[in-house]
Structure 1
Amino acid sequence: MTTAVRRPARSPVPPKPPRLRARIIGWSVVALILAAHVAAWNATEMSMGALLEGVTGMGEFLSEAVPPEFGSEVLAESASAAIVTLWIGLLGTTLSVPGSLVFALLATRGTAPGWIYQTARGLLSFLRAVPDVVFALIFVTAVGLGPFPGVLALLCHNIGVMGKLWAETLEEADPGPAQALRSAGAGRIQVAAQALLPVVKPQLVGLLLYRFDVNVRSSLVLGLVGAGGIGFLINQSIQLFQFDEMLTHILVVLVLIVAVDQLSALARRLLGSAP
């Protein structure tokens, strides 16, 4: 007698969602996206007609700005203000390092108790939520015009941004060394100093360089509200209808940004090649 070979029972195939239902969901999502764009278009008063009507005015504006004013006095003033803008971005970045590091450790799970963790996260969210321009307006009112309120504005905003980025980097670090130290009886500060920070130091420095690049650009905008630097000269040129000088200042800003980009790229390459 031959015995029948039993075939293994096949697992039931999950039923496919009906095509009609999938199409309805897809078209509903598309309709919601289109409705959101229509609402945004109306709320922002977008008008292609107004743009076309303003072409003539834009042409007159460019004709008055070109060629730029390359007089020695204008270039000297512009270069001096650009250096001030660079210093604002530098100080706003480096002076925020201690506060950013403290908040990052307090806002990292495992290095701070639960209530401190939640409080630190809330403070970082507040500092990030307030734009640096708003901080600049507040400090301009408090200490007057000039580069100093710009540094203070970047300092406050950058602590919120960099503290959040550093906290997330610490939480994504390899948990092995930290767990080994905890099992040996190490405290929170010892775990952070000996296990977490050494592991993620390259990432922290890379984020710091990135924020320096961003802060130099932000310091330009802060100058438009009276916080010093070359942004102040651009705003002054526009108010005095000296558009050729305005274009000169913008070209100097372009040179400054390219130089900062190259400097940041060089620092990242050196950091990556370091043992």
Structure 2
Amino acid sequence: MSSPSPDHTAAPQQLPPPIFDARCKACWFVLGLLLLVVASFWSLDLQWVAFFSLDALRSMARFGGEFFPPDLSPVFVRKVVQASVETLAMSALGTLLAVVFGLLLALPASRLHAADRSWLRQPTRLLLNALRSIPELVWAALLLVAAGLGPFAGTLALALHTTGVLGRLFAEAIENAEPGPAAALRAQGNSTPAVLLYATLPQVLPQLLSYTLYRWENNIRAAAVLGVVGAGGLGQMLAFHMGLFHMGKTATILIAMLALVGLVDGLSFALRRRLTR
């Protein structure tokens, strides 16, 4: 009995991918973004020649030299330290309020399981979109009318904007949690709060804490800016002294801002590192 002859038919030659396949679509998208950036530079009519001219550089150097030496008098440094504490408190309290309300809004904004009808999902997400679409400065300007000048308006402004941001992030984390543990508890007849408490939240808690720390870093910077509209803290001192051209005092305030942001960034990085171990 003769053995079967080997198949000498050549494999069909693989043709190059069409120009509009998935990979090339990404290439066209990047090319479109580059063209948009080039068109933006052209439409804005940026005066690069005037910006890097000798007169402009000389004026910038003269203006920068006015910041030195910083005002390090004990009386003024004490005021800066008090404003720094106020800015730190605004950011911490605003973030804490945002965590509470963001988590409360994240639960109705997320679909907890496949059979969950989640009637409030879309309305709640629209509310979160509205909260975070309004910048902190606009919230502070609106709240100054009701709360008056000072850190209270700034704290509420941070809380409202950050609630929209954290609420959406928390909702996404809850929806993307591993469904197995929740399904096992649900199959045993446990209620929805029990499933959330013992199955879903333990999984997403490190992610929620990471989001919270990151937003706290951002709120430190935002709190320093909110004072420009009269919401207290370092920003209010910065707007006052810079408006009066007290450049030495302005330099001291800027140094305090940099130190405060660096301190919170380092603390947040250390806490996030411990959470991921």
Alignment TM-score > 0.5, same fold: yes
What's the secondary structure of 1:227's corresponding residue?
coil
Shift of 1:263: 2.2
Q: Tell me, yes or no, if the aligned pair for 1:105 and 1:192 is still in contact at 8 Å.
A: no
The structure-2 alpha-carbon separation of the partners of 1:187 and 1:134, relative to structure 1 and needing over 3 Å to count, comes to: same
Shift of 1:250: 0.5
What's the secondary structure of 1:159's corresponding residue?
helix
Structure 1 distance, partners of 2:149, 2:45, is: 34
Percentage identity across aligned positions? 36
Say yes or no: does 1:259 pair with 2:263: yes
Aligned 1:89-238 pairs, distance under 5 A: 89-110=91-112, 113-238=117-242
Shift of 1:48: 0.6
Q: Tell me, yes or no, if the aligned pair for 2:110 and 2:118 is still in contact at 8 Å.
A: no
What's the secondary structure of 2:189's corresponding residue?
coil
Q: Tell me, yes or no, if the aligned pair for 1:85 and 1:229 is still in contact at 8 Å.
A: yes
The structure-2 alpha-carbon separation of the partners of 1:175 and 1:32, relative to structure 1 and needing over 3 Å to count, comes to: closer
Q: 185-194 or 155-164, which moves further after superposition?
A: 185-194
Shift of 1:239: 0.6
Shift of 1:12: 4.2
Shift of 1:158: 0.8
Which residue does the alignment assign to 1:77?
79
Structure 2 counterpart of 1:88, which letter? Answer: M
Shift of 1:270: 4.5
The structure-2 alpha-carbon separation of the partners of 1:209 and 1:17, relative to structure 1 and needing over 3 Å to count, comes to: closer
**Structure 1: segments with no counterpart, 5+ residues:** none
Shift of 1:194: 2.0
Shift of 1:254: 1.4
Shift of 1:176: 0.6
Structure 2 distance, partners of 1:64, 1:267, is: 39
Q: Tell me, yes or no, if the aligned pair for 1:61 and 1:243 is still in contact at 8 Å.
A: no
Aligned 1:237-256 pairs, distance under 5 A: 237-256=241-260
Which residue does the alignment assign to 2:2?
2
When the two structures are superposed, what TM-score results if normalisation uses the length of structure 2? 0.87
RMSD (CA atoms): 2.7
Deviation by residue 1:147-171 (Cα, 9 ceiling, x = unmatched): 1110000000111111111111112
Q: How many residues align?
A: 270
The structure-2 alpha-carbon separation of the partners of 1:257 and 1:2, relative to structure 1 and needing over 3 Å to count, comes to: same
Deviation by residue 1:44-67 (Cα, 9 ceiling, x = unmatched): 342212312432321121121111
Q: 53-62 or 172-181, which moves further after superposition?
A: 53-62
Structure 2 distance, partners of 1:255, 1:173, is: 37
When the two structures are superposed, what TM-score results if normalisation uses the length of structure 1? 0.87
What's the secondary structure of 1:66's corresponding residue?
coil
